[in-house]
Each structure stands twice: as C-alpha cells, then as structure tokens.
Amino acid sequence: MEIPTILGAGLIVVGAAFGIGKIGSSAMDAIARQPEASGKIQTAMLIAAALIEGIGFAALFAA
C-alpha cells in the first residue's frame, strides 16, 4: 500500500508545530525567570521558530 505524500507532510507539520510550541513554552519559562533578559530571549526564540517553520513550509510545498 502506498502512503500518500500529504500524510508525510502532515506528520512534519505536526512535528514543526510541536517544536515551535516547545520553543514558546521554554521562552516563557525563561522570561518568567529573568524578565530583564526578555528582549534577548524573544529574539532567540523568533530565530529558532523561524528556522523550524522553514522546514514545515518546505514539507508543505514538497507534498
């Protein structure tokens, strides 16, 4: 039986969403611990989220 490519894309998107969620929650924790570093944490969070998002989109367009 052939597995449709869209299923793989869906799995990757779920993975990407999980990853971004994890980044968000860790950033929240970090900001709660050190509110004065929130600017730096946000920047690092956005970069990491953007890199993961790129993979998600690549999967979507490959499907």
Partner 1 sequence: MQKPFYVRFLLVATFLLGFTAFAQDEDASSGNEQGSVKAEIKEFIAHHLLDSHDFTLFTIDEEKNTHFGFPLPVIIWDDGLKVFMSSKFDHGQSVAEVDGNYYALYHGKIVKTDAQGTINYDEEGHATNAKPLDFSITKNVVFIIAVSLLMIFMFRKMAKSYSGSMLPKGIGRGLEPIILYIRDDIAIPNIGEKHYKKYMGYLLTVFFFIWIINLLGLSPLGVNVTNNIAVTLCLALFTYFITAFTANKNYWKHIFWMPDVPVFMKIVLAPIELLGTFIKPFSLMIRLYANITAGHLILMSILGMMFIFKTWIGSSMSFVLASALSFLELLVAALQAYIFTMLSALYFGMAVEEHDDH
Q: Is 24 in the site for partner 1 (CB under 8 A)?
A: no
Options 11, 14, 37, 51; binder of partner 1; rule CB under 8 A: 51
Residue selected from 8, 21, 24, 54 as contacting partner 1 according to rule CB under 8 A: 54
Q: Which is nearer to partner 1, 3 or 61 (CB)?
A: 61
CB atoms within 10 A of CB 47: 11
Q: Which residues contact 59 (CB under 8 A, 6 or more apart)?
A: 8, 9, 12, 13, 16
Tokens of 30: 């970090």
Is residue 60 a contact point for partner 1 (CB under 8 A)?
yes
